[in-house]
C-alpha cells in the first residue's frame, strides 16, 4: 500500500465516519510499531514527527524522516507522513523535500491576529507544494509538561479563523491536554459538535493519550477526524524496558529490551486504531 497523502487518509476517514490515528515517531522502533499496529488492525495510519523529536535528533529531520518513509513504503497498510507542531519556519520549509504529505503549523501560543497571519502564510506555502496543512486555535495545554485541560476553542472564532487562513484541518481545545500519564480527560462533546458544525474542515484532537476509549468514540461521533497519540506509546515503551531490565540486570543487548518495547507499542496502536474506527 505504501506511502499515501495525508489528505487522502483524512478524507477517507471523514467519509466513513471514523478518525485516522496519528502517532508520534521518536525512534525507528516507534515507526515500526505504528505501522505494525496498522497492519494488524487493517487500517490506515499517520506517522508524525514533531519539531521536538527533530530537536532530539540534533535538529536533523532527514534521517528520521527517511527511516519513516522507508518503513511506510515497506508496509501493506496505507501510511502517510506528517510533520507535527512546527513552530520554526525553517523546519516547515523542509517538509516538502522529505516525503511529508502534511504539516501542522503551530502558532497557537501567539495572539489571534499573529496566529492568523503566520498560519495563512504557512498554508499558502504548503498548498503550493501539495501539502495538507493543519493548525491550532485555542492552545491545547500540556506541551511544557503541565496538565492544562481548561482551554477551549470558540466556534465562532474557529469559523472566522478557518476562512481567514485557508487551513485544511483544525486542532481544537476541547478538554484534552498533552502528555497525560493517566486516561482521565473528560472532553466537551457538545463543544466538539458545535465546532464540527461551525467549520467546514476536519477537526483534530491533540493530547489523546489522556482520553479514555469511550470518550474517544464519542469524540469521533461528534466530528473528530484526526486523533493524535504520542505519550501512550512512550508509556508502553518505557514500561516494557523497565520490566525487562528489572527482570535481568545482566542484559546489555538493546534488542532484548527494544523488542518487547516495540511489541508493547504495537499493541497500543492496534487497540487505539480499532477504537477510532468503530
Ligand atoms: O501532536 C501530538 C499529540 O497531541 C500527542 O499528545 O502525547 O498527549 O498523546 P499525547
Ligand atoms: Zn499535539
Specify the pLDDT at position 141.
64
Residue 231 within any structural domain of the chain: yes
In terms of Cα–Cα distance, which of 202, 200, 114, 188 is closest to 152? Answer: 188
- Residue 204 CA to ligand 2 center (angstroms) comes to 9
Give yes or no: 144 in active site: no
Which DSSP state fits 249? T
226 in contact with ligand 1, CB cutoff 6 A: no
- What is the DSSP secondary structure assignment for residue 48, as one 8-state letter? E
In a domain? residue 107:
yes
Q: How far is the CA of 75 from the centre of ligand 2 (A)?
A: 25
- Residue 147 pLDDT: 44
Which residues fall within 8 angstroms of residue 235, CB to CB, at 6 or more apart?
A: 181, 209
Res 19: pLDDT: 98
- Ligand with smallest separation from the Cα of 208: 1
For the CA of 142, the nearest atom of ligand 1 = 8
Full DSSP string of 177-200? -TT-SSS-----HHHHHHHHHH-S
Tell me the CA end-to-end span of the chain in Å, nearest whole number.
22
pTM across the whole model:
0.97
In the block, residue with C-alpha cell 517538509: 95
52 lines ligand 1 (CB under 6 A): no
- Length of the chain in terms of residues written: 278
Q: Assess whether the C-beta atom of 229 lies below 6 angstroms from ligand 1.
A: yes
Asked if residue 59 is part of any domain, the answer here is yes
**pLDDT at residue 181, rounded to an integer:** 95
Partners of 226 in the beta sheet?
A: 20, 204
Question: Residues within 5 Å of ion ligand 2 by Cβ?
Answer: 206
In a domain, 168, yes or no: yes
Is 40 within the bounds of a domain? yes
Residue nearest atom 6 of ligand 1, based on CA coordinates? 207
Maximum distance among all alpha carbons in the chain? 59
Which residues, at least 6 apart from 27, have a Cβ–Cβ distance to it below 8 Å? 64
Q: Whose CA is nearest to atom 10 of ligand 1?
A: 207
**Which residue in the list 84, 106, 168, 188 is annotated as catalytic?**
84
In order along its 278 residues, the chain shows pLDDT tens digits of 689 999 999 999 999 999 999 999 999 999 999 999 999 999 999 999 999 999 999 999 999 999 999 999 999 999 999 999 999 999 999 999 999 999 999 998 899 999 999 999 999 999 999 999 999 998 676 665 444 567 899 999 999 999 999 999 999 999 999 999 999 999 999 999 999 999 999 999 999 999 999 999 999 999 999 999 999 999 999 999 999 999 999 999 999 999 999 999 999 999 999 999 98
How high is the pLDDT of residue 149?
Answer: 64
- Give the distance (Å) from ligand 1 centre to CA of residue 12: 22
Q: How far apart are CA 216 and CA 18, in angstroms?
A: 11
66 contacts 98 by C-beta, under 8 angstroms: yes
CA 85 – ligand 1 centroid, Å: 10
**CA dihedral over 85, 24, 74, 39, signed as positive or negative:** negative
Q: Is the CB of 148 under 6 A from ligand 1?
A: no
Sign of CA dihedral 16, 4, 10, 160: negative
Question: From CA 18, how far away is CA 140, in angstroms rounded?
Answer: 22
3-class secondary-structure state, position 157: helix
How many structural domains does the chain have? Answer: 1
Three-state DSSP state, 23: strand
Per-residue confidence (pLDDT) for residue 138, from 0 to 100: 81
189's grid cell? 462533546
CATH number at residue 147: 3.20.20.70
Domain containing 30 equals 6-276
- pLDDT for 53: 98
1: in domain: no
Amino acid at each position: 500500500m505504501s506511502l499515501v497523502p495525508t489528505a487522502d487518509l483524512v478524507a477517507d476517514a471523514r467519509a466513513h465516519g471514523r478518525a485516522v490515528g496519528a502517532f508520534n515517531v521518536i525512534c525507528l522502533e516507534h515507526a515500526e510499531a505504528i505501522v505494525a499496529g496498522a497492519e494488524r488492525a487493517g487500517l490506515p495510519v499517520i506517522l508524525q514527527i514533531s519539531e521536538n523529536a527533530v530537536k532530539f535528533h540534533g535538529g536533523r529531520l532527514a534521517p528520521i524522516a527517511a527511516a519513516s518513509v522507508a518503513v511506510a513504503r515497506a508496509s501493506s497498510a496505507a501510511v502517510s507522513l506528517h510533520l507535527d507542531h512546527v513552530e520554526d519556519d525553517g523546519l516547515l520549509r523542509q517538509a516538502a523535500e522529505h516525503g511529508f504529505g502534511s504539516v501542522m503549523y503551530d502558532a497557537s501560543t501567539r495572539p489571534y491576529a499573529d496566529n492568523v497571519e503566520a498560519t495563512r502564510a504557512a498554508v499558502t506555502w504548503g498548498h503550493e507544494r501539495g501539502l495538507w496543512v493543519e493548525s491550532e486555535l485555542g492552545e491545547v495545554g500540556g506541551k511544557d509538561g503541565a496538565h492544562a485541560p481548561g482551554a477551549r476553542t470558540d466556534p465562532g472564532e474557529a469559523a472566522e479563523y478557518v476562512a481567514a487562513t485557508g487551513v485544511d484541518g483544525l486542532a481544537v481545545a476541547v478538554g484534552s491536554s498533552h502528555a497525560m500519564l493517566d486516561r482521565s480527560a473528560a472532553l466537551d462533546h457538545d463543544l466538539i459538535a458545535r465546532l464540527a458544525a461551525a467549520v467546514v474542515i476536519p477537526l483534530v484532537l491533540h493530547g489523546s493519550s489522556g482520553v479514555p476509549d469511550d470518550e474517544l468514540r464519542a469524540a469521533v461521533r461528534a466530528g473528530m477526524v484526526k486523533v493524535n497519540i504520542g505519550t501512550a506509546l512512550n508509556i508502553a515503551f518505557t514500561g516494557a524496558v523497565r520490566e525487562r531490565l528489572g527482570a535481568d540486570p545482566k542484559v546489555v543487548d538493546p534488542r532484548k529490551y527494544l523488542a518487547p518495547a516495540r511489541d508493547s507499542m504495537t499493541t497500543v496502536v492496534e487497540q487505539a486504531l480499532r477504537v477510532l474506527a468503530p
